[in-house]
Amino acid sequence: MVSGTGSTPPVASSLVGPVVARLRRLPLRAQLVAGFAVVMALVLSAGGALIFWRVDVALDRRINGDLRADSAELAPLVRPDGSIEDGDADDGAALSQHQVLDATGRVLAAGSAIGTAPLLPEHAVREALTGPLFYDVGSPLPTAERQLRLYAVPLDAAGGTGAAGTGTAGTGPAAVLVVATSRAASDEALRELLAQLALVGLTTLVLTTLVGDRLALLALRPVEQYRTRALAVAAGEPGVRLDVPESRDDEVTRLGHTLNDMLAALDAAMARERRFVQDASHELRTPLTLLRTRVELARRRPRSREELEVVLAELDVDLRELQALAQQLLDLSPSSSASSSSTSSSSDHPPEPADLAAIVTDVARLSGDGVDGLPLRWATTVDDDGHDDDAVPVRMAVRMPVRALRQVLFNLLANAARHGGPHVAVHLGVGRAVARPSSAGETVAVLTVSDDGAGMPAEFLPTALLRFARSGEARERPGSGLGLSVVEQLVAASGGELRLCSRGAHHRAHERFDMPCAHPEQGTAVSVLLPITAGRRPQG
């Protein structure tokens, strides 16, 4: 026993495969129109076939009814010898289009319009002897010579229909009465109907395909415009935007708005790249020029060993500053920013929490008595329960990489020691805050680095976090103006908030926590707010 597997036969697969592959290579508009045309052709064909079948059935039903009526009228008039009693039939056409056949198919009597050739073959006669039978002679084609519909009923030996008919019951079927009618009119009507259906269907298919092609063109026109604009973007043309109609709200329009948002983000990224390259080249020009000048001065005349050691010491200082500047530029580069942001926001591989309290203690140990030659005064506070404690918390885990947290703390200390001084204090606190935009309560670690220097002007605070930003007095001191920019970038990537407080003025970058701002009355305080992921209060 052979069972089917449900798979496509090899021959059909070999025929359908190339057609499908060729269709997939067509433009989207051609695919849409072709698919629409195929579906429309199937619908029109199904509708035309239904109409043709209904008309054919109706015509056959009418012809069959007429034949039954003629047979019922003629059957009682058949004599035992097969002849018809003259003058008793009302329908002359029925008299002229009939035959009486014996059981062997021999013609016993025939109407004038039929002739003496048997209308039924022998197998049809044998079938008609058992019951009424409809039989067609000729084909529906217009070239057929005879197009007849026959109705045969059995007759008993006494004349009249047998068991399957109506009339006088005899000794059993001994002959067959065949009544005929021409099918030419109905076949001609069906041929005309078929031609009309084909013409109307083909016209409808062509018109609907043209309309579908026009609709596809209108629907895909914005996509072609988007493609043209994308080519302009690929060619490096800045500020390109798509013409998106505001009156529409379909899928293509929403795609246009999304692409415009993407183009705006690309323009912003390119602007940041250009600005970064310009700023970096500007800032690197000065130390590189200084290095070249020192080397040229050293080579201008012979120098003693002591003089060369002085020059080498100066070059070493310049190279260290250049190295620090290059590292800060790398930390601020757009690629580094994107990488750190994606790493911190990844749900699959989030950064391991760092123990803020332990890192503060470790940095205090490594820094010793000061940073950049300035003294440090350390003080840690834990104010989550309303009182201060000079002990460092046992654990205060924040979701920031350890390296980034160390860099934040060292940058803040170096910035405070360089521009504040002479004393720098580090405050570590814990508090409850309302996070934005979720409005949920959250435990927040607050790291504040403050100094007792002159502070920053109030108008300078909003620009203090920009790259290479330095106030008037700070320009006279060493530094690149990148420290706070690096801190702001790292804190933002970790979901935190950075606050600047100086001379009674405040500035908040990335406002994420509703929490009061605490700062000293003198100098500048820089606070880093980070959500705590795990921790417990200090004991005692």
Pair 480, 441: CB distance under 8 Å: no
Provide, rounded to the nearest whole percent, the portion of the chain with pLDDT above 90: 10
Write down the pLDDT at residue 393.
46
More confident residue, 61 or 384: 61
Q: Whole-angstrom Cα distance, residue 460 to residue 346? A: 35
Is 77 within 8 Å of 84 (Cβ atoms)? yes
**Residue 246, pLDDT score:** 79
Q: Average model confidence (pLDDT) for the chain? A: 75
Mean pLDDT of 476-503: 74
pLDDT digits (tens, 9 = 90+) for 381-416: 555 443 344 444 446 788 888 878 887 887 788 777
For 477, phi and psi rounded to 5 degrees? -105, 160
Q: Which pLDDT value is given to residue 2?
A: 45
Mention every residue, 6+ apart, whose C-beta is less than 8 A from residue 521.
none
Helix axes 251-300, 334-345, angle to 10 degrees: 130
Closest to 438 (Cα-Cα) out of 495, 386, 378, 493: 495
Beta bridge pairs of residue 396: 535
Instruction: Answer yes or no: is pLDDT of 82 > 90.
Output: no
pTM over 0.95: no
Both tokens of residue 526? Answer: 């820089």
Nearest to 230 by CA among 240, 244, 220: 240
CB of 71 closer than 8 Å to CB of 151: yes
Contact 326, 318 (CB under 8 A): no
Q: Tell me whether strands 374-378 and 424-435 are parallel, antiparallel or unpaired.
A: parallel
Question: Please, which pLDDT band fits residue 369 given cuts at 50, 70 and 90?
Answer: low
Go through 376-411 and write b for each residue having 16 or more CB atoms within 10 A of its CB, e for each that does not: bebebbbebeeeebeebbebbbbbbbbebbbbbbbb
Per-residue pLDDT, 167: 40
Is pLDDT at 499 greater than 80 in this prediction? yes
For residue 243 the two structure tokens come to 């013409």
425/522 Cα distance (integer angstroms): 12
Per-residue tokens: 128:
């008609």
| pLDDT at res. 201 | 94
